[in-house]
Amino acid sequence: MTVAVVGVTGMVGKVMLKVLQERNFPVTQLIPVASEASVGKTVLFNDEEHTIVPIDVAVYNKPDIAIFSAGSGVSLEWAPKFKEMGTTVIDNSSAWRMHDDIPLIVPEINAGILSEEDKIIANPNCSTIQMVMALAPLHEAYVLKRLIISTFQSVTGTGKHAVAQLRNERSRIEGDMVYPYTIDLNCLPHCDVFLENAYTKEEMKLVNETRKILSDPTIGVSATCVRVPVIGGHSEAVNIEFRNEFDLAEVRQILQDTPGVIVMDNIANNVYPMPLYQQGKDEVFVGRLRRDESQPKTLNMWIVSDNLRKGAATNAVQIAEYLLKENLVAVSV
């Protein structure tokens, strides 16, 4: 299996290599790809040094799978070129997510829609992935009507320069500013760019991607996304109104039985998910389960996950694993 990782020197790209190695994905040849500034340098994978190549060289080598984490512009330009060479592309950017003919996949939820013809597959947004992991089984049981979401998102979601800004501010070192304001000791209600409707692009991703993944355009979704001075994990407070009545004990059992979801909800002992402790893990952690006392058929939930792992790299590798398991990707000989 020949695998190209496009954007290999970025925060997600580095985690991609780590996850591929941890999960023993059968990579017989790795093609690491990055910008011209990194071409010729090396990355370590499976105890071997691999030389970074430009993206046109990677296309020429016709990898079986190309995992992209290099931004929408790169994906829009190059994913079709890989596709033409027979490569299956798993793209972590927002470039293809809302295209009607491109599947948007969280493997535990909707991998079954994939076919051999799907040569470009979109990886959802990190904040969407962790939320729908918890919501999908509840939607099946009670039918989602409306979601009110508040996110508390790590600076790692912006990238390594945002992490550098936070660390510089903590050390009182002047440096480049990725955000329009100080992030340390602060909360910025501003993730991605503002749109004409006064919501940010990140907030509208939660709206549109949730509906597409769950195949239900009737779900009402309203989101506020906030950047917080945290490294390594997104948190979400989600208010969930169902169309049907639910039993809280049954909700807890459904979530406990959901692969990839771990319930941490013991308030008597102060047990609940926190990004500091969930960093570096692949699961989605759920806690603070309680009824909304202001209206019927409504549940409150707290969801935490490592945005670089299940929110990006791990989900992409799981897609690749599914393609291989179901013989949906042509392996070169």
Q: List active site positions.
A: 126, 234
CA dist list (Å): 317 to 27, 105, 238, 314, 321: 12, 11, 27, 5, 6
211 by Cβ neighbours in 10 Å (0-12 / 13-18 / 19+) ranks as middle
194 by Cβ neighbours in 10 Å (0-12 / 13-18 / 19+) ranks as exposed
Of 286, 290, 313, the residue nearest 302 (C-alpha): 286
CA dist list (Å): 322 to 65, 106, 108, 213, 284: 12, 11, 10, 17, 19
CA angle 138, 142, 144 (to 5 degrees): 75
Angle (deg, nearest 10), helices 126-142 and 201-213? 40
Q: How many CB atoms lie within 10 A of CB 72?
A: 14
Two tokens, residue 184 = 């340390």
